[in-house]
Structure 1
Amino acid sequence: MSNLDRQAALSVCGGRGFVVAEPVRELLTPRQVKLGESSEVRRLLPNLGRRMVGAWCFVDHYGPDDIADEPGMQVPPHPHMGLQTVSWLHEGEVLHRDSTGSLQTVRPRELGLMTSGRGISHSEESPRPHARYLHGAQLWVALPDTHRHIEPHFRHHADLPRVTAPGLDATVILGSLDGTTSPGDAYTPIVGADITLAAGADTRLPLEPDFEYAVLGMSGEAHVDGVPVHPGSMLYLGCGRPDLPLRTDGPASVMLLGGEPFEEELVMFWNWIGRSHEEIAQAREDWTNGTRFGEVKGYDGAPIPAPALPPAHLKPRGRVR
């Protein structure tokens, strides 16, 4: 998924200087962002106060939206570099096309994982015809310097491993949770999991104390370490947790996002992650000139033009503004 903001702002993130090395309960407020022709999303990362959770650097939550009489998701071709995109649905379908020739419909609880590496372009759209409701999350994972120039590729995983406990059923989307590992390509120590909680659940989920974590509300109300988390909000939890208390009165679902704090400092502008102003400027020139990022074939529409660079020289800094 793309950042379609035509007034795109620079985000500087990464580095360990602002990692909270102890358990906290920091509730992040989303920002409403228009996406494409008819969709609106709640953007949790990057946030005014926090830019990353492990290698997770971009989190949008959308829906549930009734799109029975709407075009639904319509995101024209756009470029990415230096990151992975994670498509995750609870309802609906998304048709993915990219410049490597991939064509894949992603359905609920299936992983659509695109690794942009040195550069890729893709589009996303609701199929025609499509389901009535659309509900899900789109996330980015920053690639470390050792892997950020690899060949771009897309992987689809329809069958993902699960972790279960009384009142809890977790699908491991990326990385590892409680000894269970996703088949998705991971380039840093990371975890992403979709957790369904039954009514009356009261349990504790094992964590890695060296990871930092956040929980994104998807549906219902979940009490995460005593804090109510509602759909479209995200609770940052810091590090130093051996486990996480989870409780619900009614059915609820959340996403657990975490990982080893990302040490490298990044420059994130529009749909690119780099390490310098010069890299971002070159990416913009390459997209404008039609080089490097390839062509998305089969999408009925023009690619998205890149926004202008900000007047200031882009510099990598820390994890919070």
Structure 2
Amino acid sequence: MSSFEADPEVGPERPVSMELLEGAPVALGGPRGFAVTRTLPNRQRRMVGAWCFLDAYGPHDIRDSAGMRVGPHPHTGLQTVTWLVAGEILHRDTLGNHQEIRPGQLNLMTAGRGIAHSEETPPRNSGVLHGVQLWVALPHADRDMPPAFAHHAALPVVALGGGITATVLMGTLGDATSPARIHTPLVGAELTLAAGAQAAVPLDPGFEYAALALDGAANVDDATLKPGPLLYLGSGRSTVRLATSSPARVLLLGGEPFEERLVMWWNFVAREHDEIVQMRADWESRTPRFGEVRGYDGPPLPAPPMPLTRLVPRGRVR
């Protein structure tokens, strides 16, 4: 997914242990485009572990529309993570991958030194679209690795007790470890809560965590979490307590605090302003760096103009 903004950050730093982070509405593709809510990067916090971008969308009724249509666009220095609650998305990339994803499956694209892809609702679809798109920043040692793509049709599910089960997208939660390749210690999991569920979910005290309600409402410690904002939980926790009176789904994200300073601009993650300038130039001039997405019926996305001031590397909090 493309940020469709020159700078995807949504705007001073306040050290907190637990805070509700409101999202910013964004229309992918312009004012009449596909509506999403962006909670990372945020005014208060730019990252949770290596998770550096989070768009949530839906549920959208797309029976009378084209649904999602995001034309070919580039990425560098990150992994894109696609997770659906409902619906279908068709992914194409410059490595020649052509993969439809459905709920319960994971699409993981590792951009490395450069890749491009498109995302769209396939012609035959269920008429609804609901999910999240996330980015994971690659550490310095891996940021220029060759691009790669993996589709995981089956992921481990673990019962956490008290009416809560977890599907582990990335990393490890409880006794379950995802097959998805990670480059820093982190975790991503969808927690499914039955009506009346109540349990303590095990956490790694060395990680920082955040939670996003995907469907329904849940009590997370002393906070009521509904779809929309991201609840930052802080670090140093060995558990977090979840409860609900009706069925709910919660996305749990965590990871070791990411201490490298990054420049995030448009769809690129880099370390310096001049790297971004080169990435943009390579995309606009169609050098072999990003390749060509074949099969998408539409033009590639143009890069926005560079800002008038130099981009400055920033840490994980503001």
TM-score grouping bracket, smaller chain normalisation: over 0.9
Q: Distance in 2 between matches of 1:319 and 1:19?
A: 12
3-state SS of paired residue (2:18): strand
* 1:85 corresponds to 2:80: yes
3-state SS of paired residue (1:284): helix
Q: In structure 1, what is the equivalent of residue 104 of structure 2?
A: 109
Q: Distance in 2 between matches of 1:12 and 1:32?
A: 10
* 1:35 corresponds to 2:28: yes
Q: Is the 8 A contact 1:86 1:138 kept in 2?
A: yes
3-state SS of paired residue (1:265): coil
Q: In structure 2, what is the equivalent of residue 168 of structure 1?
A: 164
Q: Is the 8 A contact 2:8 2:41 kept in 1?
A: no
Q: In structure 1, what is the equivalent of residue 215 of structure 2?
A: 219
Q: In structure 1, what is the equivalent of residue 7 of structure 2?
A: 9
* 1:72 corresponds to 2:72: no
Q: In structure 2, what is the equivalent of residue 143 of structure 1?
A: 138
Q: Structure 2 unaligned segments of length 5 or more: list them.
A: none
Q: In structure 2, what is the equivalent of residue 255 of structure 1?
A: 251
* 1:188 corresponds to 2:184: yes
Aligned with 2:201 (options 199, 205, 214): 205
RMSD of aligned C-alpha atoms?
A: 1.6
Q: Distance in 2 between matches of 1:264 and 1:251?
A: 38
In structure 2, the CA distance between the partners of 1:210 and 1:12, relative to structure 1 (3 Å rule), is farther
Q: Is the 8 A contact 2:88 2:100 kept in 1?
A: yes
TM-score normalized by structure 1? 0.95
Query: 1:262: how far off?
Result: 0.4
Query: 1:109: how far off?
Result: 1.3
3-state SS of paired residue (1:245): strand
Q: Distance in 2 between matches of 1:154 and 1:229?
A: 33
Q: Structure 1 unaligned segments of length 5 or more: list them.
A: none
Query: 1:120: how far off?
Result: 0.1
Figure out how many residues of one structure are paired with residues of the other and give that number: 313
Q: In structure 2, what is the equivalent of residue 319 of structure 1?
A: 316
Q: In structure 2, what is the equivalent of residue 296 of structure 1?
A: 293
TM-score normalized by structure 2? 0.95
Q: Is the 8 A contact 1:10 1:310 kept in 2?
A: no
Q: Is the 8 A contact 2:82 2:132 kept in 1?
A: yes
Q: In structure 2, what is the equivalent of residue 179 of structure 1?
A: 175
* 1:100 corresponds to 2:95: yes
Q: Is the 8 A contact 1:25 1:227 kept in 2?
A: no
Structure of greater relative contact order (alpha carbons < 8 Å, 6+ residues apart): 1
Q: Percent identity?
A: 56
Q: After superposing the two structures, state which structure 1 stretch, 148-157 or 34-43, moved more.
A: 34-43
In structure 2, the CA distance between the partners of 1:226 and 1:129, relative to structure 1 (3 Å rule), is same
Q: In structure 1, what is the equivalent of residue 148 of structure 2?
A: 153
Q: Is the 8 A contact 1:204 1:244 kept in 2?
A: yes
